[in-house]
């Protein structure tokens, strides 16, 4: 039996090795996590044959629900992207707000869009839409871009069914309905502070002109606050497939459908008699797998078949959507392997005792663990998965309530969101699409992401006081 000091030291060295492999050696995160898990297992005295069996068991155990939900969510998002859901939401919300208040509309647009569309894709699609508004009002592009990106950032990392929070909730064994609920509460505050409030502040200090040669790909309709802007004001709004954009209500309904079903299942479990027919029905429909399957089938029909897509096109679309999802699924599984080995060594009990002695709440530990990984290697998804991997043994040892586990997931997401800088691909995407210098990107994008993460964390910490 290895000593406690050596087990803790081995865990620290394993994290250092992980960062070295990902940052310096540029090993893919999935392979790096497997290598670190093997090294940690051998260093802590695990029998080599037993170690391989544990890796296989933990990989499978980590991915049961997570793999299905991430896969279905990826298909769901790809269908909405093809149908032009992001463009419709953005143009509709921009159009309903006056120039004075359009930053708020953009924040909420980003909040909704990122439920289904990855943040990098959303930036590519939506930022050019802001050029027309910025040229007309003569305001800094940051006045509009920061709120949009804050909204995108919040939902992408706080609220399932996006991959990061799904993976975090899966590793932590959290109630997905509660993660959605607390993610929406903390995320709304984070979006407000990091979006319209900070956007107004930074736009007065950094003027970013919209590029003259760019054209907005989608325009709002006439008669609205930002309507009829630009030369394309009277053109038909078209999606990627060449068909008219779907209605605002249809898109909003599709985005909210899985959230409503999952929250309905959580509410039914809390309010209805266990084992009764209504409770069983709500639990079945509200299970994340069934909720995402229903949503996926609905969107395939409504935004695919109903709009003229044939079976071959829909099959190709679904297959294309699963490619990036597969990478996230494998990284999540490898993170589960590392976490399982940490549990096997009993380090959770040691860390729980240490945290009790220091008086550190678990939400603080989760935030710091994810933030350190985020700052070190850049990827928010890897930071969240690794942060959850390190925090899960603590949560298991401390026997936390369901709300506390969910809030810890939000704290981990906040750590994985904040402190984006030059080692994050999102930083360079913002740098390119806003046409800023590196210094100005640090002052705007990095501060925005940090405000989103810190504000969300503070909200989670405050809420945790009611459930500890």
Q: What is the pLDDT of residues 361-404, one digit of tens each?
A: 999 999 999 999 899 888 888 889 889 988 988 888 888 899 99
Q: Identify the DSSP state of 247.
A: P
Whole-angstrom distance, CA of residue 42 vs CA of residue 40:
6
Task: Concatenate the DSSP letters of all residues of 330-364 into one string.
Answer: HHHHHHHHHHHHHHHHTHHHHHHHHHHHHT--HHH
Return the pLDDT at 213.
Answer: 54
More confident: 299 or 63: 299
**CA dist., res. 179 & res. 169, Å (int):** 7
Q: Where are the domains of the chain?
A: 7-464
Ranked by mean pLDDT, the top range of 108-112, 191-195, 331-335, 433-437 is 191-195
239-253, 294-308, 314-328: lowest mean pLDDT where?
239-253
pTM: predicted TM-score of the whole model, two decimal places: 0.81
**What's the token pair of residue 143?**
């006045």
Please, what's the largest Cα pairwise distance for the chain?
75
Residue 371 to residue 331: CA distance in whole angstroms? 18
Q: Which residue has the higher pLDDT, 447 or 77?
A: 447
Residue of 436, 385, 463, 444 whose CA lies nearest to 188: 463
Range in 22-36, 91-105, 274-288, 423-437 with the lowest mean pLDDT? 91-105
Cβ 6 vs Cβ 306: under 8 Å = no
Q: Among 24-28, 57-61, 158-162, 411-415, whose mean pLDDT is lowest?
A: 57-61
| Alpha-carbon span 74 to 153, nearest angstrom | 17
- Are the beta carbons of 354 and 393 closer than 8 angstroms? no
User: What confidence score (pLDDT) does residue 237 get?
Assistant: 61
Q: What is the pLDDT of residue 39?
A: 92
What's the mean pLDDT in 151-179?
A: 88
Q: Is 255 helix (H, G, I), strand (E, B) or coil?
A: helix
Beta partners for residue 244, in sequence order: 238
Residue 454 burial (CB < 10 Å; 0-12/13-18/19+)? Answer: buried
E strands in 2-158: none
Task: Give CA angle at 340 (371, 13), nearest 5°.
Answer: 55
Q: What is the dihedral of CA 327, 330, 334, 340, to 10 degrees?
A: 140
Kindly state the tokens that stand for 182: 């607390």
Choose the most confident range, by mean pLDDT, from 43-52, 159-168, 282-291, 411-420.
411-420
Beta-carbon count within 10 A of 10 CB: 21
Cis peptide before 207 (omega within 30 of 0): no
Write out the two tokens for 211: 């590029």
Checking if the pLDDT of 320 tops 90, the result is: no
For residues 395 and 379, what is the distance between their CA atoms, to the nearest angstrom?
Answer: 24
Ranges 17-21, 313-317, 340-344, 431-435: which has the least confidence: 340-344
- According to the model, what pLDDT value does residue 45 have? 85
- Whether 350 has a pLDDT exceeding 80, the answer reads no
CB atoms inside a 10 Å sphere around CB 464: 22
Average model confidence (pLDDT) across the chain: 83
Segment 332-345 shows an average pLDDT of: 81
- CB-CB contact of 190 with 415 (8 Å): no
Beta carbons within 8 Å of 56's beta carbon, 6+ residues apart: none
Show Cβ contacts of residue 141 under 8 Å, excluding neighbours closer than 6 positions: 130, 131, 134, 208, 209, 210, 434, 435
Residue spans of alpha helices (H) in 346-464? 347-358, 362-377, 380-398, 402-417, 425-433, 438-441, 447-464
**What residues form DSSP beta bridges with 238?**
244
- Helix (H) or strand (E) holding 305, with range, is none
If you ran DSSP here, which 8-state letter would residue 100 be given? T
Q: What does the DSSP 8-state code read for residue 11?
A: H
Instruction: Identify the band that residue 230 occupies on the pLDDT scale cut at 50, 70 and 90.
Output: very low
Sequence-ordered list of residues with C-beta below 8 angstroms from that of 355, at least 6 positions apart, any chain: 361, 362, 365, 394
């Amino acid at each position: 039996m290895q000593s406690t000091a050596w087990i803790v030291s081995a865990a620290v060295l394993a994290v250092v090795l992980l960062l070295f492999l990902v940052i310096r050696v540029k090993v893919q995160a999935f392979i790096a996590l497997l290598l670190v898990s093997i090294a940690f297992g051998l260093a802590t005295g695990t029998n080599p044959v037993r170690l391989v069996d544990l890796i296989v068991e933990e990989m499978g155990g980590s991915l049961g629900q997570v793999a299905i939900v991430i896969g279905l969510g990826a298909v769901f998002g790809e269908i909405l992207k093809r149908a032009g859901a992001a463009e419709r939401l953005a143009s509709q919300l921009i159009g309903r707000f006056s120039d004075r208040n359009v930053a708020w509309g953009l924040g909420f647009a980003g909040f909704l869009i990122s439920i289904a569309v990855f943040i990098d894709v959303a930036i590519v699609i939506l930022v050019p839409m802001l050029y027309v508004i910025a040229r007309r009002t003569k305001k800094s592009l940051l006045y509009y871009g920061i709120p949009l990106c804050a909204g995108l950032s919040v939902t992408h990392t706080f609220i399932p069914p996006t991959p990061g929070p799904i993976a975090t909730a899966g590793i932590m064994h959290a109630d997905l309905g509660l993660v959605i609920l607390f993610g929406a509460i903390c995320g709304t505050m984070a979006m407000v502070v990091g979006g319209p409030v900070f956007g107004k502040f930074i736009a007065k200090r950094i003027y970013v002109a919209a590029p003259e040669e760019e054209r907005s790909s989608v325009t709002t309709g006439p008669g609205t606050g930002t309507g009829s802007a630009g030369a394309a004001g009277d053109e038909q709004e078209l999606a990627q497939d060449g068909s008219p954009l779907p209605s605002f209500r249809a898109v909003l309904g599709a985005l909210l459908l899985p959230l409503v079903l999952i929250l309905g299942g959580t509410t039914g479990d809390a309010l209805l008699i266990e084992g009764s027919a209504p409770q069983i029905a709500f639990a079945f429909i509200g299970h994340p797998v069934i909720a995402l399957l229903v949503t996926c089938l609905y969107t395939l029909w409504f935004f695919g078949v109903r709009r003229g897509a044939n079976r071959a096109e829909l099959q190709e679309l679904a297959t294309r959507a699963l490619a990036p999802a597969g990478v996230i699924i494998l990284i999540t599984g490898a993170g589960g392997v590392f976490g399982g080995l940490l549990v096997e060594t009993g380090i959770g009990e040691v860390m729980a005792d240490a945290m009790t002695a220091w008086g550190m709440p678990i939400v603080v530990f989760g935030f710091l663990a994810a933030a350190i990984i985020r700052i070190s290697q850049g990827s928010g998804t890897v930071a969240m998965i690794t942060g959850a991997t390190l925090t899960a043994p603590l949560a298991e040892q401390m026997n936390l309530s369901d709300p506390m586990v969910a809030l810890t997931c939000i704290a981990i997401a906040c750590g994985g969101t904040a402190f984006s800088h030059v080692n994050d691909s999102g930083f360079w995407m913002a740098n390119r699409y806003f046409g800023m210098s590196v210094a100005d990107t640090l002052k705007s994008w990095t501060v925005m992401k940090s405000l989103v993460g810190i504000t969300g964390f503070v909200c989670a910490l405050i809420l945790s006081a009611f459930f500890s």
